[in-house]
Structure 1
Amino acid sequence: MSQTAQALDFLPLKLAILTVSDSRTSANDSSGELLAERATAAGHQVIAREICTDDRYLLRAVFSHWIADAEIQVILSTGGTGITGRDNTPEALECLLDKRLDGFGELFRSLSFVEIGTSTIQSRALAGIANATLLFCLPGSTGACRTAWDGILAEQLDRRTHPCNFAQLITRFNER
C-alpha cells in the first residue's frame, strides 16, 4: 500500500434510505432496518428514512427531493425492482439519473446467483448518479439488501478500499 493510501482516514457519508412497499411499516421494515444498521455500524450517518408506496410518481418525488438536498450523498432504496406490475422503482429513477452505473446491477446479480440461483434474473437492481448523489436500488428482501451491502456497498462507500471506490470520487461527480 502506498503512503497516500495509508494516510486515508474513513470518511463518513450521509445517507437516505427509502423503502418501497405497499405493505411495510416502520415496525416491520426489516430491509430498511438492515441497511440503516449496516450503514451506521460502518460509521455513516443515516439522515433521512422513509417508506413510500410503489407508485412511480410518488417515488420520483421522494428521489427528486433527496437528490436536490445537498446534504444527502447516497440514497439506498429497497423494493420495487422486480418484474410485476407494482414494481416501479427503476422506472421512477432512471429518468432522474445523470449517469448509470451498470456494473452495480451486474455485480449484484452475480453475487445473488450464488445465493438464489437463476431467480436473480428477476432483479432489476440498478445504480447511478444524479446531482452528485449516488443512488442504489436494491430488491426488497432482507437477504438481497444484506448481499448488496456486504458484497458491494460496504467497500465502495469506504474511501479506504483500493484500488478505487465511490467514496473517494463523490466530490468529483460534478467536475467538468
Structure 2
Amino acid sequence: MTRIDETRDFIPVRIAILTVSDTRSLEEDRSGQTLVDRLEAAGHVLADRMIVRDERDAIRAQLQEWIDSAEVDVVISTGGTGLTGRDVTVEAHRDVYEKEIDAFGTVFTMVSMQKIGTSAIQSRATGGVAGGTYLFALPGSTGACKDAWDEILKYQLDYRHMPCNFVEIFPRLDEHKRRK
C-alpha cells in the first residue's frame, strides 16, 4: 500500500549510480541510465555516476568514497548480483554495511516474482546503511532496475510516502555516534 501525503513537502535526495560491469561504457549503460532518468523525473538529484569492473575491492572502494561524501545520500548499484563467479557486488556492499535492510531483498523478490516468476530466485538484490548513507544493489537488467525503482525506491525515497519512508529517518541513521 502506497500513499503520498500531499501536505508534506517533497525533499530531493542526492543519489549516486554505480554500474558494475566488465564490458559496459556510459554510452551503453542502459540500466544505469534507466535509474538516472527515473530519479531525475522523480525530482531527485544525480550526485555522481560511475562504472567499475566486477572487482570486489574496486566496488567497495567506490561505495566507501560515496559513503564518506557529504554530497551523497543514497547509492544505487546495478549489476553483479547474480550467482556466477564474477558476481561480487553483494559481497562488496556487505563489506561496508553497518546494518543490512533485510526486507529490501525480500520485497524485491516479491516484485520480481510478479514479472519473471521463479527466475526471481536468481537475484541477490540487497540494501543496507553505512555512514548515514543508504545503499542498494540491484541486478544489471533494465527490467530489474525499473521494477526496483517503480515499485520500491520511488516510494521509500519520497518523504511524502506514508506510513513511513527512508527519508524521514535520515537524521537518525547515525544518532549512535552522538551518544556519550
Instruction: Classify the TM-score, shorter chain.
Output: over 0.9
2:133 — aligned with what?
A: 133
Contact 2:13 / 2:74 at 8 angstroms: preserved in 1?
yes
1:60 — aligned with what?
A: 60
Mapping 1:1-176, distance limit 5 Å: 7-176=7-176
TM-score in terms of structure 2 length = 0.93
What amino acid is aligned across from residue 76 of structure 1 in structure 2? I
Gaps of 5+ in 1: none
What amino acid is aligned across from residue 24 of structure 1 in structure 2? R
SS across alignment from 1:129: strand
SS across alignment from 1:27: helix
Aligned counterparts of 1:47 and 1:157: Cα–Cα separation in 2: 15
> How many residues end up aligned between the 2 structures?
172
Contact 2:21 / 2:53 at 8 angstroms: preserved in 1?
yes
Give the ranges of 4+ consecutive aligned residues of structure 1 lying more than 4 Å apart after TM superposition: none
Q: Give the root-mean-square deviation of aligned CA atoms.
A: 0.9
Aligned counterparts of 2:112 and 2:56: Cα–Cα separation in 1: 25
Give a deviation string over 1:94-151, Cα, whole Å, max 9, x none. 0210100010000000110111111111100000000000000000000000000000
What amino acid is aligned across from residue 123 of structure 1 in structure 2? S
Aligned counterparts of 1:171 and 1:24: Cα–Cα separation in 2: 36
Q: Percent identity?
A: 51
Contact 2:68 / 2:131 at 8 angstroms: preserved in 1?
yes
- Which stretch shows the higher mean deviation, 149-158 or 163-172? 163-172
Could you tell me how far 1:7 is from its partner in structure 2? 3.7
Could you tell me how far 1:6 is from its partner in structure 2? 5.2
TM-score in terms of structure 1 length = 0.96
